[in-house]
Amino acid sequence: FGGIIILATRRLFDSESRLRRQERLAQLGQMAAMVAHEIRNPLSIIKGSADVLKKKYAGENNELFDFIPEEIDRLNRLVSDFLQFARQKELPTESLDPARLIGDLVSRINDPRIRFESPPDSAAIPLNKDAFQQVVLNLLENARKATPPEGQIEVICKKGRTYRISLRDSGEGMSAEVLGKAFDPFYTTRATGSGLGLAITRQLVEQMNGAIHLDSSPGQGTTAILEFPA
């Protein structure tokens, strides 16, 4: 009985925390839309000007002509990530088989390091197809970056009381400090990237009534675990 009370209390605190985060993000989303508009307009002008200069001085081998558009594209991706994170949209769901969606993505990526293990029987759960695919792609991309050429990435689906998806890489793993900040917006240990990938991933999972957590330690790789109502 005590365990039930503890579980119920934990879920209550989680719900309250999620509600407060959604309220903050709703306010942030309105501001983000205005800021994105003000940023993207001058970026488009700068990129257009760079293209004109590249054509005008086509005979000169100047790396700046490629560097400027590439950096502008990177800034545009950062703005897009920020907008996606800040906007709270309802995600319509339909009954889908996660294993089939993951299998399609793994086939498309075609990375020999990925080993996918699906349950023997198909199982459908409420998901938003685009959001779920983005979640899996984000996690696979992180795993592929972390895993050495001779390493392995395991993706396993299991259906029980919940539908559980685990994705384990054989990379260097994370320290306790990095692990504790992994889902924080704008936190990254890489030289490039917005630091919003895992924050967006968690947001999408929670919008589909799921949960995500990471298990990692130095030298042991990282395991991402997704759980959805079965």
Token pair, residue 14, equals 């989680």
Q: All domains of the chain, ordered by start, with CATH?
A: 2-86 (1.10.287), 94-229 (3.30.565.10)
The 3-state secondary structure of 94-121, one letter per residue? EEECHHHHHHHHHHHHCCCCEEEECCCC
Helices (H), the chain: 2-56, 64-86, 98-109, 129-146, 176-181, 197-207
Sign of the torsion formed by the C-alpha atoms of 4, 226, 126 and 20 = positive
pLDDT digits (tens, 9 = 90+) for 127-155: 999 999 999 999 999 999 999 999 999 99
Question: What is the CB neighbour count within 10 angstroms for residue 187?
Answer: 14
- pTM for the whole structure: 0.71
pLDDT digits (tens, 9 = 90+) for 71-109: 888 788 777 777 777 766 778 999 999 999 999 999 999
Q: How far apart are CA 144 and CA 111, in angstroms?
A: 9
Give mean pLDDT, residues 209-223. 95
Least confident of 6-10, 22-26, 181-185: 6-10
**Kind and range of the H or E run holding 175:** none
